[in-house]
Amino acid sequence: MDLGGLWRVTESHDDLRRRLAEPDLDDSGWAVQAVPGHWRSVSGLEHSDGPVLYRHRFEAEGPAATDDGPGTRAFVVFDGIFYQGDVWLDGDYLGDTEGYFFPHSFEVTDALAAGREHVLAVEVACNPPSDRRAKRNLTGVFQHWDCIDPEWNPGGIWRPVRIERTGPVRIVSLKVLCPEASEERAVIELQAVLDRPAPGPAQMETVVFPDGGDALVAAHVQDQNLSAGSNTVRWRVAVERPDLWWPRALGGQPLYRVEVRVSDGGRPSDERSVVTGLRRIRLRNFIATVNGERLFLKGANLGPTRRDLAAATSEDLRHDIRLAADAGLDLVRVHAHITRPELYDEADRSGMLIWQDLPLQWGYGHVRRQAVRQAAQAVDLLGHHPSVAVWCGHNEPMALDLAPGTSTAPSTVARVVAAQLLPTWNKTGLDRSIRRALERADDSRSVVAHSGVVPHPIGGTDSHFYFGWYHGAERDFPAMMGRFPVLARFVSEFGAQAVPETAGFMAPERWPDLDWAALGARHCLQKEIFDQRVPPDRYRSFDAWRQATQSYQSIVLRHHIETLRRLKYRPTGGFCVFMLADAQPAVTWSLLDHERVPKAAYDVVARACAPVIVVADRPAPSYRPGEKLSLDLHAVSDLRIPIDGAVIDASLAWPGGRRAWRFEGDVGADRCVRVGRIAHALPKEAGMGEVTLELRMTWPGGRASNRYTSRVEI
């Protein structure tokens, strides 16, 4: 029974809080909100930080009035409350909730039996952090991120609410994992939490079908003696000669429907079903293998589809996965949050791999027990998705609260470096516990304790580098990776901000007198850094500045990606650009704005992530007449078959002259190969102007090209 629809809501105060649960409380003057939703969509609550009181009247008959037979039980289930809730039914307190992304349920069998008319009341709290270095709410990017307005509050009953009816034995949760998979045999590992009001036997039946079909491929039946209360039951089901699930770059995505039914005394009591895929994924030194096949991971960070995530349509969520695929990506990193089911379902069906963060970002305090609990809940909720390839406990676990634009100050850099290298409670206490909880809950996937702690002698994981934005010049990146190769094993954040196409929120007609302070405070624009990288005062129009910011972002992303692809498997296992799309009107590092209109970098990234690319050492910004160019050429192929008979033509042109080279050979499957070197001294009489290097690679059935520019300066 769906309890969504229109609920009465109002901001809480002491008198109303005390009377909230009273069935006869007059709430007719309260505002109305559609549930699911966020309270800031309600007129009068647009700026509220809560708590907010919710009430809903409904009619439901108790078990005695149904034909379900004796022993029927009823539960009210909240699929998501952002972030904490206290729940009453008909004046009786049911309990509290904490955690925004997983369901909470309460038994209401006796309450429904007592009458037909009912009042469900909830007090919802989502307090803003008083100290961003020691947060208590595990809400990740929704309450602390430089890509969402810091004044935003995601509070509300944001996922569906319903009444569930079962027999005496209820399946409280069902976890489905695939720890083993090969062409000969796959194993599905299941864990159910069963609730029974009194001790007694139960029978469990598991059946497996191809998704969308009815041909039984596996079945399992077992008898189980249950105690009163909560019982955890684990078992395995084997599937012989399965159709394996593959990422989009490696194969198809066959799926299976797993149905679990529990019976009491021969009568059906409850059932659950999930759709899963059978595959084996491993990540070793950040190099991924799927079903034994190595895969270089080309990815992007993915924030919330919308900051008010409940308001996103199902198509919006699916569309983000398709946009990632259209950019040539194999992976999305669901960045410091857990999103709605539609996105994971689309990833399963399209073969997009997911790096799944828990909703922890930057500093926390006194949350270890809650974080461990929520880590296990994440596995229960998402473990059956074949697309989920790796768990990550915590993004950038540095207990710092940096103001926008301060990241380049020497004192700030020193604090960040110290937070990276020295032991802290967040890194060595909290994150160690989270990692262990994830490993206990799911031994079928790799676990990254935290993201953005650069490898160093006593720890570290993947790397976040913002050369060309927060630190250094964008051309410094290849030298750093060459000097310290371990830093390149997986770079999961890099990029630069760029002004979006959908920019009405910036009031461009006011150029150059934009409200820079408001754009920084509410729309994420980092003016101090733009002044260093793409200074607005150098451009006569808003459109010219916007184009320049997008061009600069494209340069940063293109050359970072080319560098990392040249380091394929030696040592780089992949990368994630920062980031795919905006959750609100903003100026950020995204490839797509909040309306999903692409910036110039979207197509640039798509070209840099093509299955086959030909690349050169990047020419210097300028050369003098008589100076020598010496550049290595590489061919990078992600194809699963070798390229035989490839021909690479290189053409160097400068004012007044041109030279050409040709290379021929083979490129192995899934390899990066050094093609050769081009070397040429520019004539001493060369005039000022542009120097271009054109590369073209052809092979039977395909072609790739690239272009680099420099200048001759006297």
Per-residue model confidence as pLDDT tens digits over 180-225: 999 999 999 999 999 999 999 999 999 999 999 999 999 999 999 9
Give the pLDDT score at 66. Answer: 43
Read off the tokens for 413.
């850099």
Query: Would you kindly state where each structural domain of the chain is located, as residue ranges?
Result: 5-166, 170-276, 284-609, 615-712
Q: Which helix (H) or strand (E) holds 326?
A: helix 314-326
Cα–Cα distances in angstroms (integers) from residue 403 to residues 68, 161, 348, 400, in the given order = 59, 38, 38, 10
State whether CATH 3.40.50.720 applies to domain 170-276: no
d(C-alpha 606, C-alpha 615), whole Å: 15
Cα–Cα distances in angstroms (integers) from residue 56 to residues 95, 96, 143, 306, 624, in the given order = 17, 17, 27, 26, 76
Comparison of pLDDT for 81 and 423, the residue scoring more: 81
d(C-alpha 448, C-alpha 456), whole Å: 15
CATH of domain 615-712: 2.60.40.10
Q: Is the predicted pLDDT of residue 124 greater than 60, yes or no?
A: yes
Give the pLDDT score at 71. Answer: 83
Cα 467 to the center of its chain, rounded Å: 23
Coarse DSSP helix, strand, coil percentages of the chain, rounded to the nearest 5 percent: 20, 40, 40
Of the pLDDT bands very low, low, confident and very high (cuts 50, 70, 90), residue 478 is very high
Q: Which residues pair with 674 in a beta bridge?
A: 634
Q: List, for residues 482-508, the tens digit of each pLDDT value.
A: 999 999 999 999 999 999 999 999 999
- Which amino acid is located at 79 in the chain? D
The residue among 509, 349, 487 whose CA lies nearest residue 420 is: 487
The residue among 504, 596, 508 whose CA lies nearest residue 545 is: 508
The mean pLDDT value of the chain amounts to: 95
pLDDT above 90 covers a percentage of the chain that reads 92
To 5 degrees, how large is the angle CA 177–CA 183–CA 189?
Answer: 15
Read off the tokens for 518.
């408001």
Give the pLDDT score at 65. Answer: 42
Give the pLDDT score at 456. Answer: 72
Q: Is the predicted pLDDT of residue 640 greater than 50, yes or no?
A: yes
Task: Kindly state the average pLDDT of the residues 383-400.
Answer: 95
The residue among 177, 173, 237 whose CA lies nearest residue 444 is: 177
The residue among 615, 499, 619, 618 whose CA lies nearest residue 553 is: 499
Q: Other C-beta atoms within 10 Å of 20: how many?
A: 21
CATH of 5-166, one of 1.10.10.10, 2.60.120.260, 3.30.1130.10, 3.30.70.3400: 2.60.120.260
Of the pLDDT bands very low, low, confident and very high (cuts 50, 70, 90), residue 419 is confident
Q: Is 484 helix (H, G, I), strand (E, B) or coil?
A: coil
Read off the tokens for 691.
């120097």
The residue among 450, 427, 478 whose CA lies nearest residue 618 is: 478
Task: Kindly state the average pLDDT of the residues 131-143.
Answer: 96
Give the pLDDT score at 564. Answer: 98
Read off the tokens for 260.
């679990």
Q: Is 703 left (phi over 0), alpha (psi -120 to 50) or beta?
A: beta
Please indicate whether the domains covering 170-276 and 615-712 agree at the CATH topology level: yes
CATH of domain 284-609: 3.20.20.80
In 430-473, beta strands by DSSP E: 446-448, 463-464
Read off the tokens for 358.
């828990």
Q: Is the predicted pLDDT of residue 405 greater than 70, yes or no?
A: no
Q: Would you say 359 and 83 are in contact if contact means Cβ atoms under 8 Å apart?
A: no
Of the pLDDT bands very low, low, confident and very high (cuts 50, 70, 90), residue 417 is confident
Q: Is the predicted pLDDT of residue 459 greater than 80, yes or no?
A: no
Q: List, for residues 276-285, the tens digit of each pLDDT value.
A: 999 999 999 9
Crossing angle of helices 600-608 and 542-566, rounded to 10°: 10
Of the pLDDT bands very low, low, confident and very high (cuts 50, 70, 90), residue 457 is low
Q: Would you say 427 and 459 are in contact if contact means Cβ atoms under 8 Å apart?
A: yes
Of the pLDDT bands very low, low, confident and very high (cuts 50, 70, 90), residue 646 is very high
Q: Would you say 163 and 108 are in contact if contact means Cβ atoms under 8 Å apart?
A: yes
Cα–Cα distances in angstroms (integers) from residue 22 to residues 27, 119, 120, 317, 678, in the given order = 10, 8, 10, 39, 82
Of the pLDDT bands very low, low, confident and very high (cuts 50, 70, 90), residue 631 is very high
Give the pLDDT score at 404. Answer: 59
